[in-house]
Structure 1
């Protein structure tokens, strides 16, 4: 299969080069959530592709510890040692970074019919402590509420509705050092 994929890769590169692109980036998000054997097989079977100069393979893995209930996940540190370069991504460091993120989300999703009050970013940053997952989740929930209500503006009250719930979930996530299943976090956040 890897050889077939490399041949397909050459064809894809031929097409995209006409538009000025010279490389393909493959993103594998949260690789450490797969069982160890699946990770091994994925990397072993695709070693030729991973070694190709035509492709950049980007892996994201959350920084978890192997503890009860997480035995089927690959230890993040061991996984990272398999790659030539790795970096630790931290959350947003300021209210301004959250504002940039919100602006980019609105632009990417072509949301121009709803006003977003910049002051909301202070509350979002404070409650979510800069964590991108919680910020994205809160934005989604508030946006859905605003659309359902037929409003054309997102104000601070829309976020305050979820503030305590999110603050508790962030605290629980930090106390567990990131070792909470996303389903548990979603349950905490979706309870009314």
Structure 2
């Protein structure tokens, strides 16, 4: 493989080619003003007044653009990571709000059930006296009604104590599944 000559030594061949500011701008598809800006940034260098070594500046400009592309890609990856974090945060907020709404709805529903059940018990306890005059049968019916209300009372108490909505087998939020679906949407 032939060695590339040192661009700082006396240039020969393609390394000796120079051009004007306007020509270098045309080669790089930019204005002469942008060529001068890149010189001020230290990307491009000229030999003399309005004499730009083409090969050396081509390499320098190519290296500059590759660095820019790498920086842009790193910025876009960082932006994507930040967007994912923000989406996770929003999802968590929504879950928290929905849990609060569910808890509020549960409390309201329990209050309604408590009110209805509280009015229902005296009504049901009056039925045995209206149906039969047999005291033993009436007492058995009243005992069964009391047992049913006792069981209902225990179930309501466990729900009011904070048992999960939907029972113990209610689905839990699946954050990994949510993240995977968001990655697949890209």
In terms of Rg, which structure is larger? 2
| Higher-helix-fraction structure | 2
- TM-score, length of structure 1 as denominator length: 0.18
TM norm structure 2: 0.19
- Structure whose residues are more often strand by fraction: 1
